[in-house]
Amino acid sequence: MRDFPSCFGENAVQIADSSSSTSRTAQNLVTCVYQSRLQGRSYSINVTWSKNLMGQGLSVGIDGSSNQCVCKVDIKPWLFSKRKGSKHLDTDTSKVDIYWDLSSAKFGSGPEPLEGFYVAVVFYGEIVLLLGDMVKEVYKKTTLAPLPPKTVFVAKREHIFGKKCYVTRAQFYDKGKTHDVTIECDVVGLNDPCLLIRVDSKTVVQVKRLKWKFRGNQTILVGGVAVEVFWDVHNWLFGTTQGNAVFMFQTCRPTEKLWASNNTSCEPTILPWSCSQTFKDSQLQGLGFSLILYAWRND
């Protein structure tokens, strides 16, 4: 299955060396996608956090409405000189400034910093994306007036690792509550493995006879929001030990409309799906937030 749509073309600008040959399966990657509209144009801002044996890294990419990449900035925070800085980019279509400070960032088990950092993207002298808790420092650095950033958090893609249990945290809509998401599945030596998906310790999906239902979807409710859950665990059951399962959580239409057209308590529906196509379709239809998880077994 393909990844999120992305492109980093000839106009790419890079900070630090991005030629690492480390396999994607050997590192934890989290990509957050934000949508913004400025001066009549739509932009997709992709922020990727990475973690591997070498340390942690950050990549910021900006795609224009014509599907041409405006710029790409790669930062490897383990290089001391690049933990804090800025980059100005003046292209044919946009004037972009990117500011970052990771010198005091605190990290947990994942690649995303928890606190003590900021990442800001500025278009034509206006902050459109602001991440982190060092808000005052951003406005002091940029000398810009405090204004609400004009972006919406629309998608997240994450690579997670485990043996029987896979854990992450997610917001199912922009500025919503952060939930704990746990996927449990033991496929080693079992004739009838079972898949469990929990949100905040509550079981929301249980799939028995998994060898017959290795692909499927089911609608759940999370805090009153309807979320469609898709899964594809074919590689866990029938592939190589290095294969990964794929899960997608997609916010649906408003709950009251969904109840009128579907019964969300029914058994899982089994159907083939492409997470890349579903992601594109959902964004075109304005259905909300998408979370895609690539779950890798550490055998």
Each residue's pLDDT expressed in tens, for the chain with a length of 299 residues: 333 333 333 333 333 323 333 344 446 889 999 988 777 777 888 999 988 777 788 888 887 655 555 566 666 666 555 688 888 877 656 688 899 998 888 988 788 888 999 999 988 888 889 999 999 999 898 888 877 777 888 899 999 888 889 999 888 876 678 899 999 998 776 778 899 999 999 999 999 999 899 999 999 998 888 899 999 999 888 876 667 899 999 986 443 333 333 333 334 443 334 444 444 444 444 447 899 999 998 76
Long-range contacts of 52-59 (CB under 8 A, 24+ apart): 52/22, 52/26, 52/27, 52/28, 53/22, 53/26, 54/20, 54/22, 54/78, 56/107, 56/111, 57/111, 58/100, 58/102, 58/119, 59/18
Determine the Cα–Cα distance for residues 30 and 28; give it in Å rounded to an integer: 7
Residue 3, CA atoms < 13 Å, CB-side half-sphere? 15
**What residue type is assigned to position 239 of the chain?**
G
Q: Is the pTM of this model over 0.95?
A: no
Phi–psi pair at 102, nearest 5 degrees: -115, 15
Return d(Cα 11, Cα 29) in angstroms, integer. 24
Rounded to the nearest angstrom, the gap between the alpha carbon of residue 140 and the centroid of all alpha carbons in its chain is 29
Which residue shows structure tokens 């592939």? Answer: 239
